[in-house]
Homo-oligomer: A and B are copies of this chain.
Amino acid sequence: MNLKELSEHLGLSQTTVSRALNGYADVSEDTRRRVTEAARRFDYRPNPAARRLATGRAGVVAILFPVEQNLLVDPHFFELLAGLAEMIATTEMELSLRATPVADEIETYRRYARSGRVDGFVLSSPKIVDPRVEALVGLPTPFIVHGRTEVAAPYAHLDIDNEGAFARATTLLLDLGHREIALVNGRAGLTFARDRERGFRSALAARGLAPESGRIVNAPMSEENGYRAARALFEDARRPTALVASSVLIALGAYRAARDLGLAIGRDVSILAHDDALPFLKADTLDPPLATTHSPIRKAGYRLGEMLLARISGTPPERLSEIWPVDLVFRSSVAPPTRTRRRTG
């Protein structure tokens, strides 16, 4: 059943039927009712290719990932993707997952944008200065960034308040009496990692403190890297009494390191992590329950989809900027430091 048949059946023109279905104002209520009712009865679905040809829109939003980096293996990326896919599934559009060789990334964006096969991009894990964003602000294809980056032109983005979250987390530990606090962060060069470090430093600075050397670690966020970093920190002669982690995955590794070294979490050492709400890793079911700054990355993915569609519909980028506040959730993995406990490796 196509538009022509449907309109013939109704004794109306294709124009009127099309407008009735697309919610134009200049259609009588009565006609609209008849049309929508018939459309439902015949299960009429506009042909997407025809619509795309007529409107000039591809009906596709895309997310690119570098083949060589194992981004797909990063659960944070995947949760974002899942939320995005959920949102797009509520529309008539497609979410296109596209592989690109890392060396050719910018050129892939360029070519793909010009191909007319895509209406918009979602960018994740932006660097402090991100060549993808720099290239895309010069192109007509809309895009949205999960996170922030340093670029002159306005660009649509959704971020969480990383700096504020880590400042509050660090302040909490300071309030409990901790003075020796370490930060196990994500990869250096990524904006979120810089912002979290800023929050960490500013909280310390507010008490006249500064992080000691070696107390800030940068690495991709995995259990294994969390274990390595925490183990090294815990084995140091000047073991920190508290650790802030950029992911529950890292905290999980830190838990393992603490166990291996016979340290009681929430007693010998306090641990607090940012929680992106990875579904297979619940902070409150760890032993002991893990204190967190909490912000579901899946929801962010969903919202990114909505914002990108708004951008595609013409909302200017400067109006599409959201910074989400982050909850601080106190749990028993943090406690006041126990004085002068020192342990040699």
Contacts and interface: CB of A to CB of B under 8 A. Distances in A.
B116 A70 contact: no
Nearest to A115: B45
Nearest to A43: B114
Contacts of A48: 58, 115-117
Question: In terms of DSSP, what is the predominant structure of the interface of chain A?
Answer: mixed
A49 B280 contact: no
Contact of A49 (B53, B65, B95): B53
Interface stretch (A73-81, A130-138, A194-202): A73-81
Contacts of A152: none
A234 to B, nearest CB: 18
- Tally of this chain's copies: 2
A253 to B, nearest CB: 12
A47 interface: yes
A100 to B, nearest CB: 7
Contacts of A53: 47, 49-50, 52-53
Interface stretch (A82-90, A207-215, A261-269): A82-90
A96 B98 contact: no
Contact of A94 (B96, B100, B116, B223): B96
A189 B24 CA distance: 50
Interface string A204-228: 0000000000000000001100000
Contacts of A94: 60, 62, 94, 96, 98, 117
A60 B223 CA distance: 36
Size bracket, chain A contacts: 35 or more
A82 B60 contact: no
Interface of A: 45, 47-50, 52-53, 56, 58-60, 62, 65, 67, 70, 72-73, 75, 78-79, 81-82, 85-86, 88-89, 92, 94-100, 114-117, 222-223, 278-280
B97 A85 contact: yes
A248 to B, nearest CB: 13
B98 A49 contact: no
22 contacts: A45-B116, A47-B53, A48-B115, A49-B49, A49-B56, A49-B58, A49-B116, A50-B53, A52-B52, A53-B53, A65-B85, A72-B78, A73-B280, A81-B97, A85-B99, A86-B99, A88-B99, A89-B98, A95-B96, A95-B97, A96-B97, A223-B223
A59 B53 CA distance: 14
A47 B116 contact: yes
